Structure 1
């Protein structure tokens, strides 16, 4: 076995940490999270439902709404209070939202996108009038869901995109699991004698600066050689 990939709970994450270095892993996944960027065209019922859906994962799940519309912010908050009442995992949701939930009013959609890029969420929903245009401003998110009828739950179960995603801000520098994770590369170098001689002096200079005389000598012996 050379690489271990796949989702899991905190115990799976701990096991991956233990074996990392002996084998490769895809990532250390943290608690699940969703960010929603919504404008005045968004349905507060949908936004609230999706925040609740994320929060029911566990008490450390995060659900954050960014919107420039104060009225929408108030309506989403009211919808959360209404929709949470009959949910079986109500206590988990309440703990999650109280610790890691937020509704943030921004100056505009551009600021919402900028804050989202800093957050770098696992899931991002764009509930805006033109989600394709808004997507151009997003640089860091694990999986992006465009429009009001692309809820994150589709991605969890049936949409088809890989759902092993970077969490806890790691979308700033990593990507969802994909076929490229099962590729590896090798560097291959080849120098002619003329090309070698062009760089030999600089190579010896760097080697001597580091005090690695055998490195310098491995170049020097070739400079003295009459072989091609």
Structure 2
């Protein structure tokens, strides 16, 4: 199932917000759609726009029963909410999206501006269609070639890293790992 959070302010066009939400609901009755906005008026207008769509589509109707709208004080609050929610798709429909793009840390795909509906990314905008859902965008990315690559973490310390070794000794002692601490101390004694 698909997952979409639309982040919108009063500049967003209600009919576009509604159709974008409905288009992702269309995927599956288990899809999850939500609107986070700074404008109660926009929220009310989006609800009105969704009613005729839902009356003609049982899947959309079912998804709407478990969907939500959250109205917050300003776009900063909405962005904070979005990062906590960590959706598969995050559509940014605000007056100056470029001011917020760099602040979005947790989304499978970030769709910026009114010309970038989530449906575009579903078909031909470039990102993988296999994206993290269920809040996993907080710590996962979409499937890419990196997903199938193996990486080796290369670590090499030197005598000049005594401060780092001392810090590691303290951490090992705090964890109660005496042998870890001793392995580190022996380097300091060399």
Structure 2 length-normalised TM = 0.80
Alpha-carbon distance, 1:187 to partner: 4.5
Q: Which residue of 2 aligns with 1:98?
A: 65
**Corresponding residue SS for 2:100:** helix
Mapped contact 1:35–1:125 kept (Cα < 8 A): yes
Q: Structure 1: which 5+ residue stretches go unaligned?
A: 1-30, 224-228
Cα distance per residue 1:134-166 (max 9 Å; x no partner): 212211000011001100000001112222111
**Corresponding residue SS for 2:70:** strand
Q: CA 1:174–1:189 in structure 2 vs 1: closer, same or farther (change >3 Å)? A: closer
**Corresponding residue SS for 1:85:** helix
RMSD: 2.7
Q: Which residue of 2 aligns with 1:128?
A: 94
Point out 4+ residue stretches in structure 1 off by more than 3 angstroms: 187-192, 208-211
Q: Which residue of 2 aligns with 1:180?
A: 146
Mapped contact 1:44–1:72 kept (Cα < 8 A): yes
Distance 1:128 1:191 in 2: 48
1:158 equivalent among 105, 124, 130? 124
Q: Structure 2: which 5+ residue stretches go unaligned?
A: none
How many pairs does the alignment contain?
172
Q: Which residue of 2 aligns with 1:57?
A: 27
Q: Which residue of 2 aligns with 1:68?
A: 38
Structure 1 length-normalised TM = 0.67
